[in-house]
Amino acid sequence: MSLDKFNVIIVGGGLAGLAAAYKLAQNGIEVVLVERGDYCGSKNLSGGVFYSRVLDQLIPGFEEEAPVERYITNYITTLMTEDDYVNIEYKGKALANTPYNAISVLRAKFDRWLAEKAEEAGVMLVTGIKVDKVLTEGGRVIGIQAGDEEMLADVVIAADGINSFLAQQVGLKEPFRLEHLAVGAKALIELPREVIEERFRLSGQEGTAYAILGEATKGVAGGAFFYTNLESLSIGVVMRLDDLVKEKIKPSEALDQLLEHPLVSPLVKDGKMIEYGAHLTAEGGLQMVPSKLYKSGMLVVGDAAGFTINSGLVIRGMDLAIGSGMAAADAVIEAHLKNDYSEQTLSSYARFLDESFVMKDLKLYAKAPAFMENDRLYKRYPLLANKLFEKIYNHDLKPKNHLKNLALESLKESEMSMFDLIKDGLKGVRAL
Amino acid sequence: MKILTDTEKLALDKYEVNEGQPHILINQELCQACSTKNCLFACPASLYSEQDGEIIVEWAGCLECGTCLAVCSNNALTWQYPEGGFGIIYRYG
């Protein structure tokens, strides 16, 4: 049994852990990062684009050298029914400016690159080791245990992901509730670069990201994502667990049906699936974030802390992970200067989070998860939009009607009242 | 595009299997008293099945998401991540 002691041990080499590690090493603090996979990124999976400007603060000009797949210039929101869809597309010229607003990444490559940067900055990277538990002494976290090995540190940062067993072990969090979790099932589809650029009307490294509501999840609360990488497409369904167990839908079957939907099928034609993955994601916003993310000798960052924002159109997690990792590093730097790692000193983590965009945005969107629980969003609105457009464009030789009447008919056919519409509209503009 | 079965999907992935060391253990008594059996459909890798009244998990194909643990309504699972270096190895992610 070795009893090495370090300033900081970080458990988990995802974006939160790596951002914290990088910033700490940059500030001359001795930091060990322990990752259970063979390399950082080997256990990681993303189901959305990365709003990456925060990483530019940590590593200025990172996009010049990082394995960026594409920068997202085209955003498409899709309301989907079984056979039809309505798309709303936005293409913004400014979205192509650097530092990029959002990029698509493949985490096994991207996180591995960030880990190399962290090592260059002085982080000691230990891979292929699973941390079994944190060591405590008198209510204080003093290190970690992995198999027979123990390693001591002034501070342990739990960056061990959405299932964070470490934060649970020390009582900082309970297992997340079903309504706060969703499972994402994702396929990676290989296609030649030119084919992707032609089909998605992209030039150079531009990229497209779809947010899909409705039939993609067979009416289960959640949605689907679909975005372009350089030579592949990422597509997946995200289904909230509380609704999934009610509806009893298999995630992989929902994904299969999405791949055959008229929206998707021509875009993935002749593509070859090269990887299949699944991951849990947080859906509860601020509500699921544990009230306290620090204790003597320990901080909790990233998915382990439940940091995600889903406003229906924009889903964020990776940027919050990096922001929280940087805030944790700031707190540890302050504690290091005082040589005091007590709960009170480390509570500055909460202050750094409050001052950063992480908490500001989580608070701003605090009502979004409750709004997103409304199952009309997944069942009724996609139907309404598709019925309305069908009535507008489909000339069946019967006398036409005014738009207002078409809208009222569509509303009735999608089993909603004007009152529902007004109520949801008012709630929506306040929550989102 | 050809639609793959779930077994074919998992065959695309890279794993390092820790032979003989399952990281998911099932308490069959609790499963027998379970009325929901959410694991049978919720697992995105479709690894759970019911054979001769017992719940079986093909743990070697696990994607390590934790869905089964979250939806198990009888706390019948002892679930941990595979040992370091084992399990799913995403090449793209």
Evaluate whether A12 touches A102 at the Cβ level (below 8 Å): no
Other CB atoms within 10 A of residue A226 CB: 24
Q: Is B60 on the interface with A (CB under 8 A)?
A: no
Short-list A386, A179, A99, CA closest to A263:
A386
The ipTM, to two decimals, is 0.98
pLDDT, greater one: A98 or A188: A188
The rounded mean pLDDT for chain A is 95
Q: Is B55 on the interface with A (CB under 8 A)?
A: no
User: Mind listing the pLDDT tens digit for each residue in A103-114?
Assistant: 999 999 999 999
The verdict on pTM exceeding 0.90 is yes
Q: Is A204 on the interface with B (CB under 8 A)?
A: no
CB within 8 Å of A99: residues ≥ 6 apart? A52, A53, A56, A61, A62, A63
Task: Give chain A positions within 8 Å (CB) of B90.
Answer: 41-45, 107-108, 275, 277
User: Mind listing the pLDDT tens digit for each residue in A4-40?
Assistant: 799 999 999 999 999 999 999 999 999 999 999 999 9
Using a pLDDT cut of 90, give the percent of chain B over it. Answer: 100
Q: Is A252 on the interface with B (CB under 8 A)?
A: yes
Predicted local distance difference test score (pLDDT) of residue B8: 98
Q: What angle do CA A264, A102, A26 make, to 5 degrees?
A: 140
User: What's the CATH number of domain A70-104+178-286, 2.40.50.140, 3.40.50.300, 3.30.9.90, 3.20.20.120?
Assistant: 3.30.9.90
Which domains does chain B carry? Answer: 6-85 (3.30.70.20)
Task: Give chain B positions within 8 Å (CB) of A275.
Answer: 12-13, 90-93
Predicted local distance difference test score (pLDDT) of residue A327: 98
Fold match, A5-44+56-65+106-174+290-366 / A70-104+178-286: no
**Cα–Cα distance, A253 to A258 (Å, whole number):** 8
Using a pLDDT cut of 90, give the percent of chain A over it. Answer: 91
Q: For the purposes of burial, counting CB atoms within 10 Å of the CB of A337, is it exposed (0-12), middle (13-18) or buried (19 or more)?
A: exposed
* Average pLDDT score over residue span A185-214: 97
Q: Which of A130, A244, A251 has its CB closest to that of B81? A: A130
The topology under which CATH files domain A5-44+56-65+106-174+290-366 is: FAD/NAD(P)-binding domain (3.50.50)
pLDDT at A207 over 90: yes
pLDDT at A400 over 90: no
| Per-domain residue ranges of chain A | 5-44+56-65+106-174+290-366, 70-104+178-286, 371-431
Report the residue of A133, A183, A237 to disrupt the B interface, i.e. the one with the largest count of B CBs within 10 Å.
A183
User: Mind listing the pLDDT tens digit for each residue in A304-353?
Assistant: 999 999 987 889 999 999 999 999 999 999 999 999 999 999 999 999 99
User: Mind listing the pLDDT tens digit for each residue in A212-232?
Assistant: 999 999 989 999 999 999 999
* Average pLDDT score over residue span B34-50: 97
Pairing of strands B77-79, B24-26: antiparallel
Please tell me the distance in Å from B72's CA to the nearest CA on chain A. 10
Predicted local distance difference test score (pLDDT) of residue A78: 96
**CA atoms A370, A374, A375, A379: torsion sign:** negative
**Minimum CA–CA partner of A250 in chain B:** B41
Evaluate whether A294 touches A301 at the Cβ level (below 8 Å): no
Report the residue of A106, A280, A303 to disrupt the B interface, i.e. the one with the largest count of B CBs within 10 Å.
A280
Q: Is A106 on the interface with B (CB under 8 A)?
A: yes
The least confident of A121-125, A195-199, A313-317, B31-35 is A313-317
- Is B1–A163 a contact, with Cβ atoms under 8 angstroms apart? no
Please tell me the distance in Å from B52's CA to the nearest CA on chain A. 22
Q: Is B38 on the interface with A (CB under 8 A)?
A: yes
Please tell me the distance in Å from B69's CA to the nearest CA on chain A. 10
Q: Is A260 on the interface with B (CB under 8 A)?
A: yes
Predicted local distance difference test score (pLDDT) of residue A1: 45
Evaluate whether B79 touches B24 at the Cβ level (below 8 Å): yes
Q: Is B21 on the interface with A (CB under 8 A)?
A: no
pLDDT band, residue A52 (cuts 50/70/90) = very high
Q: Which of A175, A245, A280 has its CB closest to that of B36? A: A245
**Cα–Cα distance, B39 to B27 (Å, whole number):** 13
Q: Which of B1, B10, B85 has its CB closest to that of A276? A: B10
CA A407 to each of CA A53, A70, A173: distance values in angstroms, whole numbers, following the listed order? 41, 38, 47
pLDDT at A3 over 80: no
